[in-house]
Chains A and B, each alone.
Chain A
Amino acid sequence: MELNGAQILMKTLQEEGVDTIFGFPGGAVIDIYHALVRTPIRHVLARHEQGAVHAADGYARASGKVGVCLVTSGPGATNTVTGIATAFADSIPLVVITGQVPTHLIGNDAFQEVDIVGITRPCTKHNYLVKNTEDLARCVKEAFFIARTGRPGPVLIDIPKNVASRIVAYQPPAKVRLRAYRPTYSPNPKQVQKAADLILAAQRPVIFAGGGVVLSGAAAELIELARANRIPVTASLMGLGAFPGTDPLWMGMIGMHGTFTANMSVAGCDLLIAVGVRFDDRVTGKTEAFAAQAHIVHIDIDPTSIRKNIPVEVPVVGDCRLTLKMLNEVLHAKGSNGGPSRDPWLGQIADWKCQRPLTYIKNHEIKPQYVVEKLYELTAGKALITTEVGQNQMWAAQFYAFDQPNQFISSGGLGTMGFGLPAAIGAQIACPDRLVVDVAGDGSIQMNIQELATAVENRLPIKVVILNNGYLGMVRQWQELFYDKCYACTGITHSPDFARLAEAYGAVGLRAERVEDVEPVLRQGLFSDRTVIMDFAVCREEGVYPMVPAGAPITEMLLV
């Protein structure tokens, strides 16, 4: 069969199960687009390449599939870098296809030429420059394999224009065989045995779940571990939804803006079972003081996560789901019942929850936390929430209880402002029947607001909730607390009228300026079948609490 490179690419993408691509055309990818429109694959035209990658990322997080993005060479490729680094930091499986100048021009400083493979080497799991059309199908298959297996991540494929246009006799590639890439899925049973013994002996155990639980689909196994053994659970930002936010064993998020209960419980526990986490500095605070009284069991598929930041006693390298399944079986066989010895610990946790719940002071102004609480109430906790980055993200994480994995979609590791709106687009395309809400700030929404056009064009009924305080609020909060209230360049003195801007894009625009407007605006916006922006004029200098100053032990919290 004679096919050109672009046709081979399309054939291979379809074999990999791709039905949606987020992209932006350009000179170097004309051949690929020419082939793309002759397939059933849906193409979603972003308005900026960064939006395309974040949308593919949101699609991947909401669907559990590999997100695919297609852009042109040069600026098209460099515009994807932030999105790729975002996916890399959160271990999201993406395949990013970039066009490249023809092979004979590579290295020539040609028009729209950039060494994107060199640029993205440190922020991809792997990348390819395909120099021969004959290698294309193999590279694409390997890229998908690498992106979705082990600790997932983004893989970039750079395809020169002549590689896409050249016609060759197509040979189906052999099964993917990578000599040096063999992620460890099955845990070492001896290590699982050790973990089980520690759990049986523990009086004050805590489970700390991370994004790895969500990515490996281990939520059911985690719930079983916690309930069968009566172990309270906390999670990192990336782990929200891995354990039901409405379960009595749930303690809330850990870390810099974690709950009092979660942070105190980790400081006081005698066993920390860390599952699919990497002990980020926003979680641990001062590492020497983190879980200082505890034995630590650390389950993760990536050996480099283990002992990178925190010394652990029982490392278990393996897939979270398979490991937890084995751990549950071992515990079941040993007859664990979480016995009465856990009562004092659970009592202590109940006391902490009662004494120091997440809270805020209500007044005549619209409090951002109140907006999120109302959002939770009116969506019955069922909405898929994406966020931008900063205070809006933390309030969404704190005041919306997530019961399902993949329900909270946020840029955790890289902290990319402008992520939420395009991610909501991808998530809505992955889950057309769900209510998708982007919780945003007035700063970050403007970083990718052009994607409103994408949402309206594709008739995506996403909702954007802007907690508009006229500040880059999280940095302002740091300045208030640690920089003598010197609000250097964090005031947003001019923003567009977001409601009218929404209308200009063809979306619905609503605005609330008084507390009593909040509920009616939410009701009107959430139950619309169109793209909606809801702009809430919130209390300008509200802070996110608890807050642990950077580098302090997580028990040193500033509270409301």
Chain B
Amino acid sequence: MDSEKHVLTMLVDNEPGVLSRVVGLFGGRGYNIESLCVAETVDPLISRITITTKANAPLCEQIEKQLRKLVNVIKVRDLSGNNAVKREMALICVRAKSADRAEIQRIVDIFRCKVVDVGPEFYIVEVTGDEDKINALINLLKPLGIKKIARTGMIALFREPR
């Protein structure tokens, strides 16, 4: 069976050690983590963890069940598919020689992202979007020289029924 990308989002108790229980489960059982995002929710006692992983269907079922078994994991949902909003943010530090600045600005406009820091040699570009959009932007900026990059990893929310 083919491995597919899954976006697992879970609500967990906002306590020390909970993240390491979740991450330890993945490490100990040989599951893969492609990206990981954690932050408090509107309830300060609860955090949301979003993990993207590659797994075939039975393995993903097993991962979800193993996660639910953790005493601090309140709810687990697989947000793969179109029924969820998925976003990622990246900060990209790109070389901005004066000859290239107009080109960078054009790309930034097309991608509806923004330049958030301007230096004599470099720009920092902030972009938000799904994974494909961010990858596309990175590919366009690469020839100009990307010095460093920080990506948040994916976060996702299930769309409420209309």
Contact in complex: B24, A122 (CB < 8 Å): yes
Q: Give the contacting residue for B71; candidates A118, A122, A129, A178; CB below 8 A.
A: A178
* Cα separation A129 to B61 with both chains bound (whole Å): 31
- Verify A126–B71 contact, CB threshold 8 A: yes
Say yes or no: B71 contacts A181, CB within 8 Å: yes
Residue of A nearest to B74 (CB): A180
Are the C-beta atoms of B17 and A121 separated by less than 8 Å?
A: yes
For B69, the closest partner residue in chain A by CB is A304
Choose from A117, A125, A304 the contact partner of B62 (Cβ within 8 Å). Answer: A304
23 contacts between A and B (CB under 8 A): A118-B20, A121-B20, A121-B21, A125-B71, A126-B71, A129-B16, A129-B17, A146-B71, A179-B74, A180-B13, A180-B70, A180-B72, A180-B74, A180-B75, A181-B71, A302-B69, A303-B65, A303-B68, A304-B62, A304-B65, A304-B66, A304-B69, A307-B58
How many whole Å from A62's CB to the nearest CB in chain B? 27
Q: A180-B73, A303-B68 are in contact. Are A117 and B17 (CB under 8 A)?
A: yes
Q: B28 at the A/B interface (Cβ < 8 Å)?
A: yes
Which chain A residues in 118-135 approach chain B with CB under 8 Å? 118, 121-122, 125-126, 129
For residue A308, CB closer than 8 A to chain B, the reply is: yes
A303–B75 Cα distance when bound, in Å, is: 15
A residues near B (Cβ < 8 Å) are 117-118, 121-122, 125-126, 129, 146, 178-181, 302-304, 307-308
Segment 9-60 of B: residues with Cβ below 8 Å from A: 13, 16-17, 20-21, 24-25, 28, 58
The 4 closest A-B pairs by CB, nearest first: A180-B74, A126-B71, A304-B65, A122-B28
Q: Assuming A304-B62, A307-B58, A308-B62, is B17 touching A180 (CB within 8 A)? A: no
Chain A positions within 8 Å of B16 at CB level: 129
Measured CA separation A552–B15 after assembly (Å):
45
B11 → chain A closest CB, angstroms: 8
Q: Which residues of A contact B25 (CB under 8 A)?
A: 122
Q: In the bound complex, how far is the Cα of B73 from the Cα of A117, in angstroms?
A: 18
Shortest A18–chain B CB gap in Å is: 21
Write out the residue numbers on chain B whose beta carbons fall within 8 Å of the beta carbon of A121: 17, 20-21, 24
Interface SS of chain B: helix, strand, loop or mixed? Answer: helix
Distance of A121 Cα from B18 Cα, bound (Å): 10
Known contacts being A121-B21, A122-B28, A302-B69, is A307 close to B74, with CB within 8 Å?
Answer: no
How many residues in B have their beta carbons less than 8 Å from beta carbons of A? Answer: 21
Q: How far is the CB of A37 from chain B (nearest CB, A)?
A: 32
Tell me the bound Cα distance from A383 to B79 in angstroms. 55
Which residues from B are CB-within-8-Å of A304?
Answer: 62, 65-66, 69
A309–B76 CA distance with the chains assembled, in angstroms: 22
- In the bound complex, residues from chain A placing their C-beta under 8 Å from that of B17 are 117-118, 121, 129
Q: Give, as a whole number of angstroms, the nearest-CB distance from A482 to chain B.
A: 26
CB contact under 8 A between A179 and B13, given known A303-B65, A304-B62: yes
Q: Select the residue from A118, A178, A179 with max chain B CB neighbours within 10 A.
A: A179
List the A side residues contacting B75 at CB < 8 Å. Answer: 180
Give every chain A residue within 8 A of B21 (Cβ-Cβ): 121
| CB closest residue in chain A, given B27 | A122
Query: How far apart are B21's CB and chain A's nearest CB, in angstroms?
Result: 6
Chain A residue contacts of B72, Cβ below 8 A: 180
| Measured CA separation A201–B91 after assembly (Å) | 64
Shortest Cβ distance from residue A158 to the other chain B in the assembled complex, whole angstroms? 11
A159 vs chain B, min Cβ distance (A) = 16
| Nearest-CB residue, chain B, relative to A303 | B65
Q: How distant is the Cα of A473 from the Cα of B61 in the complex, in angstroms?
A: 40
- A307: which B residues are within 8 A, CB to CB? 58, 61-62
Residues of A within 8 A of B71 (CB): 125-126, 146, 178, 180-181
Measured CA separation A126–B69 after assembly (Å): 10
- How far, in whole Å, are A304 and B29 apart by their CA atoms in the complex? 13
Question: Which of B20, B25, B66, B69 has the most chain A CB atoms inside 10 A of its CB?
Answer: B69
Q: A180-B70, A304-B62 are in contact. List 16 more A-B contacts (CB 8 A).
A: A117-B17, A121-B17, A121-B20, A121-B21, A122-B24, A122-B25, A129-B16, A180-B13, A180-B72, A180-B74, A181-B71, A302-B69, A303-B65, A304-B66, A307-B61, A307-B62
Tell me the bound Cα distance from A129 to B17 in angstroms.
Answer: 10
Q: How far is the CA of A178 from the CA of B71 in the complex (A)?
A: 8
| A residues near B61, Cβ cutoff 8 Å | 307
How far does the alpha carbon of A392 sit from the alpha carbon of B75 in the complex, in Å?
Answer: 45
A322 and B28 CA atoms in complex are apart in Å by 33
Shortest B30–chain A CB gap in Å is: 12
Residue of B nearest to A309 (CB): B62
Contact partners of A302 in chain B: CB under 8 A: 69
Question: A122 to chain B: which residues have CB within 8 Å?
Answer: 24-25, 28
User: How does the 8 Å CB contact mask read for B104-141 relative to A, with 1 for contact and 0 for none?
Assistant: 00000000000000000000000000000000000000
Could you tell me the distance in whole angstroms from the C-beta of A163 to the nearest C-beta in chain B?
Answer: 15
Q: How far is the CA of A178 from the CA of B72 in the complex (A)?
A: 9
Q: Which residue of B lies closest to A180 (CB)?
A: B74
